[in-house]
Amino acid sequence: MKIKPLYALVLTAMLSSCSKDFIERPSLSGTTTGNYYNNADEVRAATSTLYSGLPWRNYESRAQDAIGDVMSGNMFTYTDVEYLNFTVSSASERIGASWGAFYKIIGYSNVMIKTFEEKKAAGGGAAYLDPAIAECHFIRGMLYFYIARTWGAAPIITDPGATALSGNFNIPRYIQKDVLRFALEELQLAETGLPESDVPGRVTKYAAKGMMAKLYLYNKDYANAKAKAEEVINSGKYSLVADYSGMFTKMSMNNNAESIFSIQHQLAQDPWGTGNIKNPDRGAGALRTSEADAWEMYVPSLDLLKEYEFGDLRRRWSVMEHGWTNPNWKPQRVNAPKYNAFMANGFKYDTLQPAEDGGSQGPTRSNIVKYFAGPGKSFGGDPVLGQNSGNNVVLLRYADILLIYAEAVLAGGTSTSDAKALDALNKVRSRAGLSPKTAFTQDDILHERRVEFAFEGDYWYDIQRQGYAKAKAIVEKQNRGTVTGATYITNFTEDKMYLPIPSGEIVQDPELGKEPVPYYK
């Protein structure tokens, strides 16, 4: 029987084992509910797969950038131009990659939920099986939230094994409202079943509350968004870290006090794509070394650069521009005496120096700091192996909760001077070295979110949730060009609010090309 790509994962082996304790897990080949999952260690080894960078790789590498930041106008690129100018087709590599990654991880979650429930029914220990089931519900809920925001209407799969056995692969798209409702119900199950605390990196009850707050805000359910964000704030379990840049560039800061949910990475043994592989896509070309090439696939947009307020420390924490320095980085090149002399006292970002001598003359005269670990440990950067760093990719952090709370208090109004909302907003601004606000508007919040989460794959969803009319106004005002010429979008239509279903999936499941239907009867 032919199994379609979306569901084939249920009949294949899960990921191979990794070396770090946190994401280490045994091969599941040959295991059954009878001879395995008999203790917490075995169960937690299985669920650690859901956090590992390996299944997330096809999303976090480039698809996250193209969808979240290129489409939003935060990044310029010569590679993913269709996301820059809103001409994305259903054959886009990034669409297929992210779709495949999301449904693959959902498939792992589905299999584990079913397996652990069968183990419980056979007398397995609920004390360690229930939290594991809740972890799977968290991952499944979060991913359906991403799917609903990316594609709008989409299929919902909870038992791919039953689908495979039935032989009916004609799964429809379900309306976005129902996909979001399903995601929320999954997060509610996670909230109920997860513990109050766990080892760093594992999701807890408060991770579920935080993701629910984000979903409620997307739905404009301000009362519930405020309530859930407030529960996270009042828990006292998270705080803003002083080293903003280090959250994204230092392995030592993985799973820090601000991180609520992160894709877990390690410095892999394979130099070609088993760790965090954002590193080469973001750094300045002048930082090419024998350890880690940097080819500048994505750079900050000119429109984003003008968004920073004077004195906002997040600008230099996130962006390399003329005058930016790192005295610890001392990259060396063979047979490049001018370059090596220029870099002798550390890296200098110089847009006037010839590129071959160490200068940086990219399309927007800037490069990205976030997730660029540096030129490699032997040259003063964080550990890098080939194209890999070991930095986690953060998908939910405490700064988001603070800004969700502030926006939920505003609740779509003109402005607010609510003391608690201002306190939440101003905590984020204070870390960035900015003066406190005494009142704020929706546009103030969008500005704050844009610069706070730049290059983290989130701003497109902030634009999208404003509704088509405002999204169109935002997008069409953005300069998406280079220093040699401004470019403005004139083709933004309502159908571009969501991405098309991958063409390969529609070929194998024609129902995906039809109008969506309700999931809930």
Residue 378: per-residue pLDDT = 77
Environment class of 67 (CB within 10 Å of its CB; exposed 0-12, middle 13-18, buried 19+): buried
CB atoms within 10 A of CB 439: 13
Q: How many CA atoms lie within 13 A of 506 on its CB side?
A: 12
SS3 label, residue 130: helix
Confidence (pTM):
0.92
Copy the structure tokens of residue 506: 């529609």
Would you put residue 513 in left (φ > 0), alpha (ψ -120 to 50) or beta? alpha
> Tokens 């290059």 correspond to what residue?
455
Residue 169 and residue 309 in one domain = no
Count, in order, helices (H) and strands (E) of the chain. 21, 10
Task: Summarize pLDDT for 15-27 with one digit per residue, the tens.
Answer: 333 323 322 333 4
Residue 44 and residue 182 in one domain = yes
SS3 label, residue 80: coil
> Which of 365, 383, 401 lies at the terminal end of a domain, its last residue?
383
Amino acid type, 123: G
What average pLDDT score do residues 225-233 get? Answer: 98
The answer, yes or no, to whether residue 196 has pLDDT greater than 70, is: yes
Domain of residue 180, CATH code: 1.25.40.390
What average pLDDT score do residues 19-38 get? Answer: 51
The answer, yes or no, to whether residue 213 has pLDDT greater than 60, is: yes
Residue 57 and residue 154 in one domain = yes
Residue 287 and residue 171 in one domain = no
What average pLDDT score do residues 191-217 get? Answer: 98
Residues contacting residue 11 through CB under 8 Å, at least 6 positions apart: 3, 164
Q: What is the mean pLDDT of the chain?
A: 90
Residue 341: per-residue pLDDT = 87
491 — pLDDT class (breaks 50, 70, 90): very high
Q: Do the domain assignments include residue 68?
A: yes
The number of distinct structural domains making up the chain is 2
Q: Do the domain assignments include residue 204?
A: no
Amino acid type, 125: G
> Which of 326, 349, 383 lies at the terminal end of a domain, its last residue?
383
From residue 142, alpha-carbon distances to 103, 283, 475 in Å are 12, 29, 26
3 — pLDDT class (breaks 50, 70, 90): very low
Residue 165: per-residue pLDDT = 66
Q: How far apart are CA 221 and CA 482, in angstroms?
A: 39
Q: Do the domain assignments include residue 423?
A: no
Task: Summarize pLDDT for 299-329 with one digit per residue, the tens.
Answer: 999 999 999 999 999 999 999 999 999 999 8
Residue 168: per-residue pLDDT = 72
Task: Summarize pLDDT for 412-467 with one digit per residue, the tens.
Answer: 999 999 999 999 999 999 999 999 999 999 999 999 999 999 999 999 999 999 99
Q: How far apart are CA 74 and CA 300, in angstroms?
A: 6
Query: Which candidate, 93, 133, 92, places its Cα nearest to that of 110?
Result: 133
Domain of residue 157, residue span: 40-194+499-513
In the chain the first and final C-alpha atoms are separated, in Å, by 31
Q: How far apart are CA 205 and CA 218, in angstroms?
A: 20
Residue 189 and residue 280 in one domain = no
Residue 32: per-residue pLDDT = 62
> Which of 333, 365, 383 lies at the terminal end of a domain, its last residue?
383
13 — pLDDT class (breaks 50, 70, 90): very low
